[in-house]
Amino acid sequence: MVSEALSSMIHDGCAAGFIQGLKISRNGPNISHIFFADDSLIFMRANPTNCANMLSILRNYCRASGQVINMEKSNCCFSSNSPPEVKTSICELLGMRAVENPGAYLGLPTVWGRSKKGALQYVKDRIGGKMHGWKNLLLSQAGKEVLIKAVTQAIPAYPMSVFKFPTTFCRELDSSIGNFWWGQSNDSNKIHWLSWENMGLAKIEGGMGFRNFSEFNNALLAAQGWRLIKQPNSLWARILGDKYFPDGDVLNAKKGAKASWGWSSIMEGIKVIGRGSQWQVVNGRILACGMIDGFILLGIPTDVPSK
């Protein structure tokens, strides 16, 4: 509730022209800040006057709320075209240090390299760390099943809902979990008595119900695409809309020549929605729209007959 006051102060400052945020596209919304729990990201044009005005807002907020900013845990990240003298003056003004990589935010790296597999290596390392601990040698098959389903296969769920993982990388993760399930000894794998595709079947069908990471990735991205369709007025939808589909038709949006990894990934989810959806023609009085098992369902008034 207290941080809402800070958010309102920043919004009012932007509306009055007191501070300037950033725009991803020319006609897109102005982005000034993103708050989550006790983490705060503030976006501004890199000029001393702008930063001094933001600092004034932060000081007023601290005096009113009793909260204090920890400058040692705060940092500034500049775009590559920012002059060195501007970086120095802003850092001295704010009392923060400049960094090339601000680290992770909500579990995801804020700066990605050119190699997708290299950027996602931390996911593979975390999964391997959970499976190859010394305590896991004492697990029964039932214990391994719980570890795989509740821990290791849940680790990449958040990044998979944002980015499309390379197919080869997903296969490596599936193979790593398969080796753990069937057992390893002296760095050699034991015989896999059932293919991973069959292991992904439900138990009633002879499988174990393990996830296929590639299919799981597509399902999560389809859910993001569906959110984009259902929440067109949300901030992230307006940002993507003004940049990639200004006509407002996300279902027929194009990837574009210089699309980001995030947008390219969402496009894969839109394709999944397109393959599993259908249009239903009624009398034009559509009240609601939903999706179940890949199908778009259209709700109509009960007093209107339809065929």
d(CA 191, CA 200): 17
Output the CA torsion sign for 149, 150, 154, 155.
negative
Assess contact for 128 and 180: CB atoms under 8 A: no
Confidence of residue 187 (pLDDT cuts 50, 70, 90): low
Cα separation, 91 vs 113, whole angstroms: 25
On whether the CB atoms of residues 173 and 127 are closer than 8 A, the answer is yes
- Of 211, 245, 279, the residue at which a domain comes to its end is 211
Domain presence at residue 304: no
Contact 246, 223 (CB under 8 A): no
State the DSSP string of 20-47: --B-SSTTSPPB-EEEETTEEEE---S-
Q: Residue 105, Cα to own-chain centre: how many angstroms? A: 10
Considering 80, 105, 130, which residue would you say is the last residue of a domain? 105
Q: Tell me the residue range of the domain where 274 lies.
A: 222-299
In this prediction, residue 112 carries a pLDDT of 76
Q: Report pLDDT for 186.
A: 56
pLDDT above 50 (res 92): yes
Q: Is 43 within a domain?
A: yes
Cβ count near 279 (within 10 Å) = 6
pLDDT digits (tens, 9 = 90+) for 290-307: 544 444 444 444 444 444
Is the per-residue pLDDT at 17 higher than 70? yes
Burial status of residue 289 (CB atoms within 10 A of its CB: 0-12, 13-18, 19 or more): exposed
- pLDDT tens digits along 233-262: 888 888 888 888 888 788 888 887 788 888
Residue 273 structure tokens: 């929605």
Whether 226 contacts 161, CB under 8 Å:
no
Number of domains the chain is built from: 3
> Is the pTM for the entire model greater than 0.85?
no
Is 307 within a domain?
Answer: no
**Domain ends where: 77, 105, 133?**
105
Tell me what the mean pLDDT of segment 175-198 comes to. 79
Q: Residue 225 pLDDT more than 70?
A: yes
